[in-house]
Amino acid sequence: MAGDATLEPRADDEHPLQRLWGRSSSFRPRIVLAVVSTVLNKLFDIAPELLIGVAIDVVVRTDGSFVGQVFDVADREDQLLILGGLTAIAWALESASDYVAARLWRGLSQDLQHDLRVDAYRHVQELDTAWFEDRESGRVLTVLNDDVNQLERFLDVGAAQIILTVTNVIAVGAVFFTISPSLALTAFVPIPVIIAGSLLFQRRLGPRYEAVRERAGRLGGLIGGNLGGIATIKAFGAEDREAARVRAASLDYAVANRRAIAYSSAFVPLIRMAILVGFILTLVLGGRAALDGTLEIGLYSVLVFMTQRLLWPLTQLGETLDLYQRGVASIRRILDLLDVPVTIRPGTRELHHRAADGVAVPLPVRFADVRFSYGARPDAAVDDADRIPVLHGLQLDVPAGETHAIVGATGAGKSTVVKLLLRLYDPDSGALTVGGVPAAELSFTALRGAVGYVGQDTFLFDGTVAENLRYGAPDADDDALRRAAELAEAHEFVEALPHGYDTPVGERGVKLSGGQRQRLTIARALVRDPAILVLDEATSAVDNETEAAIQRSLLRVAHDRTTIVIAHRLSTIRHADRIHVMDAGVVAEAGTHDELVARGGRYAALWSVQTGEVSDALLGRPSPER
């Protein structure tokens, strides 16, 4: 998918685990403690094998055993009792350290993945709107959910297993070289083969697991998009076609997984054959040394047990490597998402848009020679040649307390004006001020907190009517909700719902009609008592009677605030203080309704079309012959 590079591996030399360590400063003490506990657990784990060899030494030798010399105990039964006590202590310490290590690793996996998911989500919320327009939401969801879960699985099992394997090789190797350097070399013959094989498999598995994660993102994006558009799929009878697309994407994901599994599955059998060589060499050569009398029977027993202890855990290296590669691929994608730069940052200045009694004070809005193109930003996913110019030196003055309307043909730049006002985008050039302060210098809380926005997309959250109305003003009381609902002509239908204001509306308000959803979004904006009210086609989904009622209400609330209305239905804005007619990114004409109709320009033509008083010339038809 074009423009999705920020979700793919970035080209740098720093390993994902190094990047994760750099971001996890608060977790480092716990990570160190978990590593120490895991190392101690492995050391206590191999102690019984050493004690078995010592026990055999006690049984075989009539006197001068290792235990007898160390503890100065001659009786062999007493020596065995001492070994029994030491074994019990070793097992107890191994069990305790295993419990501590497991608690630490699992706690780390939960806390670290929780922090990463929340940080990534917060970061995604701060990214500019253009970033989302270049990407499927399902692919981002895959990173926030599936990739974070992969990290959790790696920390739960893989990280501890890697440390246990390394500790095991070092500790057992030290025992071997202490007892018999020559046998140590034979026992370690398989190790270089296993290491070389591991590196080879890691190189080959890495790209395959990157492909798996990338295809998982595609599949998630496709399914997420289809679920969001399920009504359209049903309306066009496209269920089979979409099921086929999901089947193809799922098959692509499965194929990528099978390619990775084919390599990871071959790893354990190869390691087993290498282990067999090391075990046979120790068994045969060590046995000869014991028969020749150059190696004590007890030490020989230790080496035989230790060979098993040294090499057999390496059979799990394939599974560990599998978890490692999946974890690294997911960590890279999570951190790449966190590294996406935030291009639109808030300022620090505040707005004084509340009077002493808490009532909103209207604020002026001014666009001065504003130019804007979609794609014109530092991290643009499109080339300069593909940028879409929208505004070409826009001049727009909305004095405080007035109602101004913006009309024009589709693509004239009307909705872009609102996006710039909310700082979903920043202008390429020119000045945008709110309350006399440059918008870029205002904090998001100040700027967006002063605006009540009602857009064309009537989005409601999965909750009750009251919860949706309080979304912009969590502390609003029931009376405020009722007043706003009455102004938006929503109170009557809300009261008729099964549970009134406590009625669930469903995901995206699916349980309500389009007109009901739109009236609730208007009420939600009014609950905030905003200094600036922005209505972007706010009555497009209501019937004529409801529209007329809403317009009467808006006339009342508009007196107390600055109101900007974007409309296609000119009847809804005929009483505005000023109407701005946009064409090709500039204001082509402006005035009151009566002035513009009398002028006979673009607005007059639009008015004639909507009122039915349209001539053949305006429709582009030739006049009938006379």
CA 450 – CA 281 distance, rounded (Å): 80
What band does 357 get if pLDDT is binned at 50, 70 and 90? low
* The predicted structure's pLDDT at residue 143: 83
What band does 616 get if pLDDT is binned at 50, 70 and 90? very low
- Structurally, the chain folds into a number of domains equal to 1
Mean pLDDT score of the chain, rounded to an integer? 79
DSSP 437: E
Both tokens of residue 607?
Answer: 């008015």
CA 283 – CA 287 distance, rounded (Å): 6
- For residue 617, is pLDDT > 70? no
> pTM score, two decimals?
0.69
- Write out the residue range of the structural domain in which residue 110 sits: 17-338
* The predicted structure's pLDDT at residue 397: 92
Mean pLDDT of 521-536: 86
Tell how strand 429-434 and strand 437-438 pair up.
Answer: antiparallel
* The predicted structure's pLDDT at residue 6: 44
Burial class (CB in 10 A: 0-12, 13-18, 19+), 563: buried
Mean pLDDT of 45-53: 77
Answer yes or no: is 502 within a domain. Answer: no
Answer yes or no: is 142 within a domain. Answer: yes
CB 47 within 8 Å of CB 85: no
Answer yes or no: is 524 within a domain. Answer: no
Answer yes or no: is 221 within a domain. Answer: yes
pLDDT winner (highest mean) among 30-44, 166-180, 228-242, 474-488: 30-44
CA 48 – CA 42 distance, rounded (Å): 11
- For residue 624, is pLDDT > 80? no
Closest CA to 221 of 544, 438, 1: 1
Closest CA to 41 of 116, 4, 93: 93
Closest CA to 314 of 489, 189, 175: 189
What band does 97 get if pLDDT is binned at 50, 70 and 90? very high
Task: Tell me the pLDDT tens digit for each residue of 373-407.
Answer: 887 554 444 445 556 788 888 899 999 888 999 98
CB 35 within 8 Å of CB 21: no
78 Cβ partners below 8 Å, 6+ apart?
Answer: none
- For residue 184, is pLDDT > 90? no
Task: Tell me the pLDDT tens digit for each residue of 136-153.
Answer: 666 787 788 878 888 888
DSSP H or E run through 75: none
**Lowest-pLDDT range, 9-13, 100-104, 416-420, 520-524?**
9-13
* The predicted structure's pLDDT at residue 619: 44
* The predicted structure's pLDDT at residue 40: 93
- Other CB atoms within 10 A of residue 413 CB: 23
* The predicted structure's pLDDT at residue 1: 38
Answer yes or no: is 420 within a domain. Answer: no
Answer yes or no: is 609 within a domain. Answer: no
Q: 578 pairs with which residues across the strands?
A: 404
State the virtual CA torsion across 325, 327, 332, 338 in degrees, nearest 10: 180
Burial class (CB in 10 A: 0-12, 13-18, 19+), 370: buried
CA 258 – CA 421 distance, rounded (Å): 50
What band does 618 get if pLDDT is binned at 50, 70 and 90? very low
Task: Tell me the pLDDT tens digit for each residue of 592-604.
Answer: 998 988 888 888 8
Task: Tell me the pLDDT tens digit for each residue of 198-218.
Answer: 667 767 777 887 788 788 878
CA angle 14, 139, 256 (to 5 degrees): 75
Percent of the chain with pLDDT over 70: 82
Count of alpha carbons within 13 angstroms of residue 227, beta-carbon side = 11
Answer yes or no: is 233 within a domain. Answer: yes
Task: Tell me the pLDDT tens digit for each residue of 315-334.
Answer: 666 677 778 877 888 888 88
Answer yes or no: is 324 within a domain. Answer: yes
Burial class (CB in 10 A: 0-12, 13-18, 19+), 348: exposed
Which CATH number do you get for residue 267?
A: 1.20.1560.10
